């Protein structure tokens, strides 16, 4: 199985001289099974450069898994070049939207309103299909079994476990470890803590034993108190997931958009000092735009 990162920033694209090494595009990950089946996780601005490389593979079937519908995870969809070429198929997978009452097709219908984009969906030459997913209901894409899991973010967010050929990946999308909303002295604390503990167990079970965990590591522990409730994890919280799940490799991603390459290196050095990798344990890495990992 092969992974390539096309976008590793969170919230907003961050191009410029200070983000050249790790990249400024928002979330987009290319996954190839051993049978070369194409699965794309999220459609941030990194989808556009990925789409340029796919023009040599026409006719193309692209299965795109959307973790959630915030802009930094869908901005690239209108610019996915194969959409404009007859004979191609874009199959878009994602969650039901409880606000609109619609399935994942709502993502494209909003983006392609004429007020925001000059090309309507009906004018695109490729075929576009929509698959609305349900939590923990697996689907099959070629040789890959894909199971969506409900994560914790201010909109419905799916993490995806992808299994093919005896290999496995879990991608969290945007995720903040669930916490108790009550103070310990409050009446509802104990009951709510049961829900929190069960949810955290479910998430850990979904990640268990994966070869690669790709996780939201937006903040440091020092930054987190001011960001609580925004729906993002820390380096430390993702490392705990990786270690407890027995993941072989952790890729830290969704890099904070104001963090330069130098600042990201400095932060990560401190993280490794606080969480030194153990012999035979999880390998911790910073996701970098353009990087390929094969296993």
Question: Across-strand partners of 137?
Answer: none
User: For all residues of the chain together, what is the average pLDDT?
Assistant: 95
DSSP-derived secondary structure for 49-114: HHHHHGGGG-S-EEEEE-S--SGGGTTTGGG-GGGGSTT-EEEEEEE-BTTTTB-THHHHHHHT-T
pLDDT attached to residue 8: 98
Q: Is the dihedral of CA 216, 194, 201, 277 positive or negative?
A: positive
Listed residue (194, 195, 160, 192) closest to 174, CA to CA: 160
175: DSSP letter:
-
Tokens of 91: 């199959």
pLDDT attached to residue 96: 86
Question: Where do the structural domains in the chain lie, given as residue ranges?
Answer: 2-294
Asked whether the predicted pLDDT for residue 106 surpasses 90, the reply is no
Regarding pTM above 0.85, the answer is yes
**Cα-flanking dihedrals φ and ψ of residue 207, to 5°?**
-90, -10
Task: Count CB neighbours of 236 within 10 A.
Answer: 16
Percent of the chain with pLDDT over 70: 100
Instruction: Give the pLDDT confidence of 68-101 residue by residue, as tens digits.
Output: 999 999 999 999 999 999 999 999 999 987 777 7
> What architecture (CATH level 2) is domain 2-294?
4-Layer Sandwich (3.60)
Instruction: Give the pLDDT confidence of 249-290 residue by residue, as tens digits.
Output: 999 999 999 999 999 999 999 999 999 999 999 999 999 999
In angstroms, rounded to a whole number, what is the distance separating the alpha carbons of residues 239 and 37? Answer: 30
pLDDT attached to residue 121: 85
Tell me the pLDDT band of 110, cut-offs 50, 70 and 90: confident
Instruction: Give the pLDDT confidence of 169-212 residue by residue, as tens digits.
Output: 999 999 999 999 999 999 999 999 999 999 999 999 999 999 99
């Amino acid at each position: 199985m092969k992974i390539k990162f096309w976008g590793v920033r969170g919230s907003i694209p961050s191009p410029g001289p200070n983000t050249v090494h790790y990249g400024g595009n928002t979330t987009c990950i290319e996954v190839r099974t051993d049978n070369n089946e194409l699965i794309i996780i999220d459609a941030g601005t990194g989808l556009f450069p990925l789409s340029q490389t796919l023009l040599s593979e026409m006719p193309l079937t692209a299965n795109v898994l959307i973790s959630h519908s915030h802009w930094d995870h869908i901005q690239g969809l209108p610019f996915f070049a194969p959409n404009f070429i007859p004979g191609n198929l874009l199959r878009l997978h994602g969650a039901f939207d409880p606000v609109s009452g619609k399935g994942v097709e709502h993502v494209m219908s909003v983006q392609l309103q004429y007020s925001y984009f000059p090309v309507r969906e009906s004018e695109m030459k490729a075929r576009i299909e929509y698959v609305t997913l349900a939590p923990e209901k697996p689907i099959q894409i070629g040789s890959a079994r894909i199971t969506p899991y409900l994560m914790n973010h201010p909109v419905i967010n799916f993490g995806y476990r992808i299994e093919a050929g005896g290999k496995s990946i879990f991608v969290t999308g945007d995720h903040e470890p669930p916490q108790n909303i009550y103070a310990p002295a409050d009446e509802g604390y104990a009951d709510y803590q049961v829900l929190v503990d069960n949810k955290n167990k479910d998430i850990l079970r979904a990640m268990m034993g994966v070869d690669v965990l790709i996780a939201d590591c937006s903040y440091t522990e020092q930054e987190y108190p001011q960001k609580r409730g925004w729906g993002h994890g820390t380096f430390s919280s993702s490392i705990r997931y990786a270690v407890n799940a027995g993941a072989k490799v952790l890729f830290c991603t969704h890099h904070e958009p104001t963090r330069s390459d130098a600042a990201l290196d400095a932060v990560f050095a401190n993280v490794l000092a606080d969480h030194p990798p153990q012999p035979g344990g999880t390998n911790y890495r910073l996701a970098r735009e353009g990087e390929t990992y094969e296993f």
